[in-house]
Amino acid sequence: MDDYILRAENLQVYYPIHTGVFKNSYVKAVDYVSFEVPRGKVFGIVGESGCGKSTLGRAVCRLEPITGGKVYLDGEDITTLSGDKLRAIRKKIQMVFQDPYASLNPRMTVFQIIEEPLRVHHLTHSKEESEQRVLALMRQVGLDDYQLNRYPHEFSGGQRQRIGIARALAVEPEVIVADEPVSALDVSIQAQVLNLLAKLQKELNLTLIFISHDLSVVEHISDQVGVMYLGNFVEAADKDELYKNPLHPYTQALLSAIPIPDPDKRNKLIPLEGTIPSAVNPPSGCKFHTRCPKCMECCRTIAPKRYQVSDNHYVYCHLYDDKN
């Protein structure tokens, strides 16, 4: 059995542009990304808005068209599967979406929402069996039996996200991709949903890909963390290693911006100039060079190679060239 349940190799997701100044070029949302996720672990993906992290999550679930590269799920190449074969892998990998208000059909009751995947995948064989299974899933995520026939608008944001989690769990997947699952929620509710995800991940030995722009949230839940910038990972490592010893200037800048509620332990803020450049026309060389406080001449023209610091820690930066 492969130690890595999910692997991506040189994955590309490009969107063609048909009009305007950049007609006939592409938005390179995910640009030659390779990474692997160990079975039963939580892999956090972090980065600013527009860095491609959500597109990457959707692409590995086969919810976005893949332009190039490969995705392997449990050792099987799922990059080009379609029809029944694609439907079959959806039993293994499910997604929890960012917006609990938009991701639930307002015309369906909780029962219908959670029962739908059971029906599509022929996992239950009678209404009674479906109802028992849906009730069990609702209890698992902290919802009450009496809420079975209620509609999404009758629930709070946190409860709706619980419904979304129950729907994802219905087919007993091995991998869940959670795309900013708490960012639309109040802070107090965020903690409850985060703790629920962490509990379910442990109890069910799920592999969780947790996508967020919030480094504190990612630190709380992840075993390993990958940092994305403009369509690529720039650094990835075990969580403790990354937060204690960040090597990439972008990771260092992100971590320096985490507020610490202790006046004696303030971080020295590393300011990042400007905004994330356009994925249509990314900077040459290192894509981060336009904002990097440590930029060197070579960074403007030569893309950095992957430097493997240790088994689970790698970084793409010319500062480590002499160590390669």
CA–CA distance, 243 with 293 (Å, rounded to integer)? 19
Q: Does 276 bind ligand SF4 (CB under 6 A)?
A: no
When binding is defined by CB under 6 A, the residue of 218, 299, 307, 314 that contacts ligand SF4 is 299
Tell the smallest beta-carbon distance from residue 96 to ligand SF4 (Å). 32
Q: Does 51 bind ligand SF4 (CB under 6 A)?
A: no
When binding is defined by CB under 6 A, the residue of 296, 309, 312, 313 that contacts ligand SF4 is 296
Tell the smallest beta-carbon distance from residue 171 to ligand SF4 (Å). 41
When binding is defined by CB under 6 A, the residue of 170, 182, 194, 317 that contacts ligand SF4 is 317
Tell the smallest beta-carbon distance from residue 277 to ligand SF4 (Å). 12
Cβ atoms of residues 144 and 136 within 8 Å: no
Smaller CB separation from ligand SF4, 72 or 288: 288
When binding is defined by CB under 6 A, the residue of 134, 286, 307, 314 that contacts ligand SF4 is 286
CA–CA distance, 194 with 186 (Å, rounded to integer)? 12
Per-residue binding letters, 230-269, with ligand SF4 (x by CB under 6 A): ------------------xx--------------------
Smaller CB separation from ligand SF4, 167 or 287: 287
Q: Does 304 bind ligand SF4 (CB under 6 A)?
A: yes
Of 75-83, 144-152, 212-220, 314-322: span binding ligand SF4 (CB under 6 A) = 314-322
When binding is defined by CB under 6 A, the residue of 93, 292, 307, 314 that contacts ligand SF4 is 292
CA–CA distance, 10 with 33 (Å, rounded to integer)? 5
126-130: long-range pairs with CB below 8 Å, 24+: none
CA–CA distance, 196 with 56 (Å, rounded to integer)? 24
CA–CA distance, 126 with 316 (Å, rounded to integer)? 53
First vs last C-alpha separation in the chain: 31
Indicate the burial class of 142 (C-beta count within 10 angstroms; 0-12, 13-18, 19 or more): middle
Q: Does 294 bind ligand SF4 (CB under 6 A)?
A: yes
Number of shown-chain residues binding ligand SF4 (CB under 6 A): 14
CA–CA distance, 25 with 231 (Å, rounded to integer)? 16
Of 103-111, 269-277, 285-293, 305-313: span binding ligand SF4 (CB under 6 A) = 285-293
DSSP character for 103?
A: S
Q: Which two tokens stand for residue 185?
A: 């929620």
Strand residues in the chain grouped as ranges (E): 4-16, 26-38, 42-46, 68-73, 76-77, 93-96, 175-179, 207-212, 224-229, 232-238, 306-310, 313-316
Of 95-103, 180-188, 191-199, 290-298: span binding ligand SF4 (CB under 6 A) = 290-298
When binding is defined by CB under 6 A, the residue of 27, 189, 295, 309 that contacts ligand SF4 is 295
Burial letters for 225-254: b for 16+ Cβ neighbours within 10 Å, e otherwise?
A: bbbbbbbbbbbbbbbebbbeebbbbbbebb
Tell the smallest beta-carbon distance from residue 248 to ligand SF4 (Å). 6
Tell the smallest beta-carbon distance from residue 250 to ligand SF4 (Å). 6
SS3 260: coil
The dihedral formed by the CA atoms of 230, 81, 206 and 5, expressed in degrees to the nearest 10: -80
Q: Does 319 bind ligand SF4 (CB under 6 A)?
A: yes
Q: Does 29 bind ligand SF4 (CB under 6 A)?
A: no
SS3 248: coil
Q: Which two tokens stand for residue 85?
A: 């074969």
- Can you give the binding site for ligand SF4, defined by CB under 6 A? 248-249, 286, 288-289, 292, 294-296, 299, 304, 317-319
